[in-house]
Amino acid sequence: MMHRFLIVGALLLATTAQAQSPAALPRTAAPPGTEVYFISPTDGATVEKTFTVRFGLKGMGVAPAGVTAAKTGHHHLLIDVAALPAMDQPLPNDDRHKHFGGGQTETVLTLPPGKHTLQLVLGDALHIPFDPPILSPKITLTVK
């Protein structure tokens, strides 16, 4: 009997947690004319299994995560992501959503052979995309 109460209680708790979506967090305004882009590789490129990706930024500066200086942010790289994550929450940090919170402007990637997509998102000091989001065009690569 006690076992049933625990299961019912756990289900109620899970259902309540799912019904409550996270509240939108305050977002940093994007300076007009800001652009994030790939310096290399270029869209349609064929690359080796391990290759360097260089990030470009126009209209703002790069600063590490946690730094709240005006007109600065840091890069996030989306790898093979079909749909953008929530733009009013901190970006995920996993194998397909890479954070460059140290202020890095390039990285070395190793991807399996085949077609892949890359996209950059600029995040504020708390990893939240700017408002409106500063996104690069998505590029497609072929890995040998």
Sequence spans of domains, the chain? 32-143
Q: Mean per-residue pLDDT for 83-87?
A: 96
Q: How far is CA 11 from CA 4, 7, 19, 45, 49, in A?
A: 11, 6, 12, 49, 45
- For 1-53, what is each residue's pLDDT tens digit? 434 333 333 333 333 333 444 677 889 999 999 999 999 999 999 999 999 99
Report whether 119 contacts 90 (CB < 8 A).
no
Q: What is the pTM of this model?
A: 0.84
The SS3 call for residue 2 is helix
Q: Other C-beta atoms within 10 Å of 131: how many?
A: 14
* Domain 32-143 in CATH 3.30.70.100: no
Report whether 117 contacts 140 (CB < 8 A).
yes
Q: Other C-beta atoms within 10 Å of 57: how many?
A: 21
